[in-house]
Amino acid sequence: MHSRTVAPDVFDPRIYAAGVPHDRFRALRDRAPVSWQAEPEVLGWPAGSGFWAVTRHADVVRVLKDSGTYSSCLGATQIRDPDPADLPFIRRMMLNQDPPDHGTLRKLVSRAFTPRRIERFAATARERARASLAAAFADGGEVDLVRAVTDDYALLNLTDLLGVPATDRGLLHAWTERVIAYQDPDEPPVLDAGGRPVNPRSPAMLAEMFGYAQELAAHKRAHPADDVMSVLAASELGDAELEMFFFLLTVAGNDTVRSAVPGGVLALAENPDEQARLWRGEVPVDTAVDELLRVHPPVLSFRRTAARDTELAGRRIRAGDKVVVFHASANHDERAFTDPHRLDLGRSPNPHVSFGDGPHVCLGAHFARLQLRVFHEELRASCGGLALAGPPRRLVSNFINGIKSLPVRPLEPSAPRA
C-alpha cells in the first residue's frame, strides 16, 4: 500500500472552471509537495488508480528532466489511463516516447522548425492580429475577445505554418475541440457506437484526421512549399509517425496559443498598473510575454509513469505509479519565484515551466512566443488598454488552462498609426 495522507483534491476537472486552485496548490507545496491523489469517477469517466501530484518547482523540473525514472512511454502523458489496446498506437507520438526513440524522432521533425521558417510568419501574424483587433474594437463597445479574435488568431497562424488550405481550416478547429474539450460538459460528448464516453485520442476517433494528414502530405509532395507539412512529407517519417505528428501539431500547436493569449489578456486586465507599464513601453514585450506565460500556463499538468522504484520529496514511489506534474503550481512556487502571485512584467530571471523542461521541452515554443509577442504589440497599438466587462468562462479541464469566453471593453484608443 502507498503511504497516503489526506490532501486537497487537484484532480477533479470541475475545480478548474473557477480558476487555477492556487490555495490548494499552496497547501500541497507547503505540507505535501508529492501527494497521493484519488482518481474517482468524474463526468462519466471511470475511476482510475490514483497518482502522485508533484507541486514544487524543483521537483517538477526533476521529474521532467529524468526520463529514465519518469517515463512518458509506459502509460503515456494524460492522467487518465488509456485503453491498453490503444497504447502501442499512442506511443507513435513523440510526446509519448522516451529517449532514445524520442530524440531520434525529435531531431528529424525539428528540421521543419527552423528560426527562418518561423520568423517568416511574423508579418502575417502581425497583420492578422491588427485586422482582427481593429474589427473587434471598431465600435468601442464590449467584445468577447475569445470569440472575436483569439480563437481564429491561433488557428490561422498554425494552419499557415502547416500549409493547410484555407478551405480546410474548419476541420482543424473541430478536431481540436473534440480532443481538448472532452471533459467540459458544455461540449458535445465524444461517444462510441454504444453511446459510451470514449477517449477522443483513440485510433477510431482520429481516423478522419489521419486520413486528412496523408492527403495533405501527398499534395505537398506534388506541390511543395515553404511550410512544415512540405518538410515532413519529404522526410523519412513513416506514415504512422507523420499522422501522429500532424495530430500533435494540430492540437498542441493550436490550443496552447489559443489558451495563452486570452489568459495573458485576463492577467493584464486584472492588473491595470502592470498593463499600463507595458502600454507605456516600460518593460520589454518579450519579458512581459514570459511573465504572462508564468501566471497562465496553457497546460496545467502532464503525467509520467515511474519506470523503477524511487523517492521524491521523501515519498516512496513504486514502479508503475502515475506521477503528475502541475505546471501552474510550479510557476507559483515561493521557493523559485519572489512574490509569485504578483504579476511583474519585468520579472527576470523567470524560470517558468509553461513549455515544460528536459527532453520534451516544447518544440514550438519559439513559434508560440512569436505569436504572443506580435499579438501584445498589436493590442497595445489598437487601444489604450483593456478592462474586464464580465467574468471569464473557463474550460472544465485538468489538462488545458482554457478560457472559453473573455468579455472585455477597450479603454481609450491609441493614437493613429503614422
Distance CA 232, CA 218 (A): 11
Q: What does pTM read for this prediction?
A: 0.91
Distance CA 336, CA 59 (A): 11
Helix (H, G, I), strand (E, B) or coil at 417: coil
The answer to whether the CB of 252 falls within 8 A of the CB of 239 is no
CATH topology of domain 13-410: Cytochrome p450 (1.10.630)
Distance CA 2, CA 148 (A): 49
Measuring CA to CA, how many Å separate 231 from each of 6, 9, 224? 51, 44, 8
Q: What is the DSSP string of 343-380?
A: --TT--S----TT--GGGS-TTHHHHHHHHHHHHHHHH
pLDDT recorded at residue 187: 53
Task: Give the Cβ contact number of residue 146 at 10 Å.
Answer: 23
Residue 311 DSSP one-character state: E
Q: Which of 6, 53, 5, 2 is nearest to 25 (CA)?
A: 53
Q: What is the full per-residue pLDDT of the chain (418 aa) written as tens digits?
A: 455 556 899 999 999 999 999 999 999 999 999 999 999 988 777 888 999 999 999 999 999 999 999 999 999 999 989 888 888 888 888 889 999 989 988 888 888 888 888 888 899 999 999 999 999 999 889 999 999 999 899 889 999 989 999 889 888 877 777 766 455 555 555 545 555 555 555 556 678 888 999 999 999 999 999 899 999 999 888 888 888 888 888 877 787 899 999 999 999 999 999 999 999 999 999 999 999 999 999 999 999 999 999 999 999 999 999 999 999 999 999 999 999 999 999 999 999 999 999 999 998 899 999 999 999 999 999 999 999 999 999 999 999 999 999 999 998 765 444 4
314 Rama class: left (phi>0) / alpha (psi -120 to 50) / beta: left
The answer to whether the CB of 301 falls within 8 A of the CB of 326 is yes
| The 3-state secondary structure of 211-266, one letter per residue | HHHHHHHHHHHHCCCCCHHHHHHCCCCCHHHHHHHHHHHHHHHHHHHHHHHHHHHH
Where are the domains positioned within the chain? 13-410
Exposure string (b/e) for 343-382, b if CB count within 10 Å is 16 or more?
bbbebeebebbbbbbbbbebbbeebbbbbbbbbbbbbbbb
Distance CA 137, CA 414 (A): 12
pLDDT recorded at residue 185: 52
pLDDT recorded at residue 31: 96
Q: Supply 392's cell numbers.
A: 471569464
Distance CA 302, CA 300 (A): 7
Measuring CA to CA, how many Å separate 132 from each of 120, 128, 380? 20, 6, 13
Helix (H, G, I), strand (E, B) or coil at 157: helix
pLDDT recorded at residue 14: 94
